[in-house]
Structure 1
Amino acid sequence: MRRRLLALLAVLSLGLLAAQAAAAHEVRPAYLEIRQEAPDRFLVTWKQPTAGDVAVRLAPRLSNGWLETAPAESFASPGFLIRAWRVRDEGPDPLAGRTLAIEGLDQTITDALVRVELADGRSLETILRPDSPQITLAFQGGPGLAVPAYFRLGMEHILTGIDHLMFVLGLLLLVGVRWRMLQAITAFTVAHSLTLGASALGWVTAPSAVIEALVALSIVFVACELANRLRGQAGLTARFPWLIAFTFGLLHGFAFAGALVEVGLPKDAIPLSLLLFNLGVEAGQLIFVGAAILAILALRPVRARLPAIADRLALRLPPYAIGSFAAFWVLERTAAAFA
């Protein structure tokens, strides 16, 4: 009975990982910006993520009818489809109280970051999600960023980013629930915060496709280290977990930054938005680590009652599952980088 239960859990885990793997690139947010350029002129920019030449059918809609005409510009850039409308409206307040909706968003796992800036300083920033794909526009006075929007986006990015979570899980399984794990997580946090900050200030840049492939390679490395540890071989990560976490954390930081910077936020908003995004990433990471530690502690009594062969299978499942999916991502993302 216990073996059947273990097998069932393994199948369910692999199924969940497979579903997440298929959607690993689709957590990038879409972006809609409405900027008032003159009292009667507005620029509306829509940017949605694509996978190669494939784009999910998404369409922004405004209840005042601005977006029902053909866009003035429409073109593709690496990883995104971009459309822009130039609108002339002499109404006294043509956006206040209007409904904004993203058609097709409820059929995806993609969020849409919305930013509206009016000439009088009023602004709005929010996130539309598959379960809430529309909003009635209401503006706050004065300039400023909506803190919860970027914070939530960072938290959701890490909690839906199965590749980043696999790396953290691999570290946790390799180091164990002990003081050294705290050192490794701290080193990972410091490292990706550094590259987030460097990207925000424009000091360093890196091609996103290459970074994504290297992130997948870092997960393969940790999975191999975990498999070697099960054979009684203490690898570099087991001896110096903080060093490996810091080194690969630099790569993950570039990936975190790319998830937001590639959306195309105005340059004057990137530093603060990345800071809030990073805080959201840290909050989500702490939630995941806490949940994983609780699960490990809860399963210890169950493992003690398992037959020896079932216990060995349970120990081998995580590194081979993590390594298999990460190896697939390495191939997929390397091909994308060369393409």
Structure 2
Amino acid sequence: MIRALLLLLAIFAIADPASAHEVRPAYLEITETDPGTFAVTWKQPLLDGRRLKLDPVFPEGCEPARERSEIAGGTLVRRWDVTCDLSTGTLSIAGLDRTLTDAFVRLNRLQGDDLSAVLRPGSLALDLSTPTGAPVLAYFRIGVEHILFGYDHLLFVLGLILLVRPRQLLSTVTAFTLAHSITLAAAALGGMRLPGPPVEITIALSIALLGAEAIYRTRGRDTLSQRKPWLIAFGFGLVHGFGFAGALAEIGLPKGAEVTALLLFNLGVEAGQVAFVAVVLALVFLATRLVRLPHGPARVLAAYAIGITGFYWVIERIAGIFT
């Protein structure tokens, strides 16, 4: 089992967490404030601190005015106003076909005939004269992508697999799932929010703690996380749920379909998590038959690798507050 975990840790070590930001969706909200006048909000993920070359393209005659921008939590937020006719024509995102990013588009009209859609490399334009339904099914895909490219969440799950005994794995992962589902729903539907930086730092601390606990296990020390791993998983799962909620807050939930979209996003997260655990267990099965490594040193090395990675992320995220 530990041999397979070492392979996965090597993958985490060479992966660039910043590259995961490119698959986060962009978000374009257009709200009609007066007849023919619209307030535009455009949110797009930054890649390694740089702006992706993505720009909304409005129908001819729509000129931006009073444009302002800010950077918030790895996202570039631009706002401006346009005065034009958005009842016909098409709306597109220039440069979308050269990225991995999807773009959620929401047009809120005074008369109530709102439009919403997901633009992606294979579907680049929205026909403004054609009614659309809320793209709730896209939230399942966003949930899957968020967990599979959320290296910190995956490393926490990997640490649980390393720490717990096989018979405890199901209850431990279930506790983690239940906890982050509770806080995700509370944040998305009930307005319970925590600031992003402390949440991200605590998530990194949870990984460092699991690494330390795994080291204690190799030394034969009895700890709470070994006696009741489900309790540790549940406690930190509550914090991880706020991390998921932060990602969801960047694109929002479609009006009139909030519960359905949230459920699909959460199911996507769980599907991605189950797929990850299945891959780990499959690698464990293969590694025990193909590779021969001393069990004790391999477990110690894996524990230190998880702990050091978590501690590095703690330092990196604290430093990010002051830069």
TM class by shorter chain equals 0.7 to 0.9
- In the aligned structure 1, how far is the partner of 2:93 from the partner of 2:175? 41
Partner of 1:218: 206
Aligned to 1:166: 155
- The percentage of counterpart residues that share the same residue type is 42
**Hey, what's the Cα distance between the residues in 1 that align with 2:123 and 2:301?**
38
Whole-Å Cα distance in 1 between the matches of residues 33 and 205 of structure 2? 45
Q: Which residue of 2 aligns with 1:134?
A: 124
1:30 matched residue in structure 2: 26
Pairing 1:332–2:321 present: no
Cα drift, residue 27 of structure 1: 5.2
Q: Distance in 1 between matches of 2:204 and 2:9?
A: 19
Matched, 1:125 2:101: no
Kept in 2: contact 1:261–1:270 (CA 8 A): no
Would you say the 8 A contact 2:254–2:261 is kept in 1? no
Q: How far apart are 1:225 and its partner, in Å? A: 1.3
1:285-314 C-alpha deviation (Å, 9 max, x unpaired): 1111122112212222235xx253xx4443
- TM-score, L = length of structure 1: 0.80
1:199 and 1:164 map into 2 onto residues whose CA distance is 18
- Equivalent of residue 156 in structure 1, options 145, 152, 155: 145
The residue identity in structure 2 corresponding to 1:81 is L
Aligned partner of residue 233 in structure 1, secondary structure: coil
Q: What is the rounded CA distance, in whole Å, between the counterparts of 1:158 and 1:326 in structure 2?
A: 17
Q: Establish whether residue 320 from structure 1 lines up as the match of residue 316 from structure 2.
A: no
Q: Secondary structure at the match of 1:23?
A: helix
CA distance in 2, matches of 1:220, 1:24: 21
CA shift, 1:194, in A, is 1.2
Answer yes or no: is 1:58 the counterpart of 2:53: yes
Deviates more, 1:266-275 or 1:145-154: 266-275
- The structural deviation recorded for 1:269 is 6.3
Report the aligned-residue RMSD: 3.3
Tell me which residue corresponds to 1:237. Answer: 225
Aligned to 1:86: 81
1:221 Cα offset (Å): 0.6
Provide the secondary structure at the position in 2 that maps to 1:200: helix
Structure 1 equivalent of residue 36 of structure 2:
40
Query: Structure 1 residues 62 and 173, CA, compared in 2 at 3 Å: closer, same or farther?
Result: same
Secondary structure of 1:82's aligned partner? strand
Q: Name the CA shift for 1:298/1:145 in 2 (closer, same or farther; >3 Å).
A: same
Residue 159 of structure 1, CA deviation: 0.7
Give the distance between the partners of 2:209 and 2:98, measured in 1 at CA.
36
For 1:43, what is the secondary structure of its paired residue?
Answer: strand
Alpha-carbon deviation of 1:29? 3.1
Q: Is the 8 A contact 1:154 1:277 kept in 2?
A: yes
Following the alignment from structure 1 to structure 2, what is the Cα–Cα distance between the partners of residues 185 and 249?
10
Scaled by the length of structure 2, what TM-score is found?
A: 0.83
Give 1:166-185 correspondences, 5 Å limit: 166-178=155-167, 180-185=168-173
SS at match of 2:56: strand
Superposed CA deviations along residues 128-151 of structure 1, whole A, max 9, x for unmatched, are: 3xx548345477747x53221111
Q: CA deviation at 1:230?
A: 2.4
When structure 1 is superposed on structure 2, of 317-326 and 290-299 the one drifting more is 317-326
Distance 1:237 1:13 in 2: 21
Q: Which residue of 2 aligns with 1:290?
A: 278
* Structure of higher RCO (CA pairs closer than 8 Å, 6+ residues apart): 2
Q: Show structure 2 runs of 5+ residues with no match.
A: none
SS at match of 2:134: coil
**Preserved contact between residue 219 and residue 326 of structure 1 (Cα < 8 Å):** yes
Q: Say if 1:232 and 1:24 are closer, same or farther in 2 by CA, change over 3 A.
A: farther
Whole-Å separation in 2 of the counterparts to 1:169 and 1:307: 19
Deviations 1:79-101 (A, max 9, x none): 2332234333347x424xx2512
| Aligned counterpart, 2:261 | 273
Which letter does structure 1 place at the counterpart of 2:124?
Answer: Q
Stretches of structure 1 that go unaligned for 5 or more consecutive residues are 1-5
Q: Are residues 1:186 and 2:174 paired? A: yes
Aligned-residue offset at 1:66: 6.0
Q: Give 1:117 deviation, angstroms.
A: 4.0
The partner residue of 1:198 within 181, 186, 209 is: 186
Alignment CA distance shift 1:65-1:169 (3 Å) = farther
Q: Name the counterpart of 1:106.
A: 98
Deviation for aligned residue 1:23 = 3.5
Give the one of 70, 89, 92 matched to 1:76. 70
CA contact under 8 A between 1:24 and 1:163: conserved in structure 2? no
The residue identity in structure 1 corresponding to 2:186 is A
SS of residue matched to 1:73: strand
CA–CA separation in structure 1 for the residues paired with 2:94 and 2:318? 32
1:127–1:149 contact (8 Å) kept in structure 2:
no
> Cα 1:10–1:203, aligned 2, differ >3 Å: closer, same or farther?
closer
1:281, CA displacement in angstroms?
Answer: 0.9
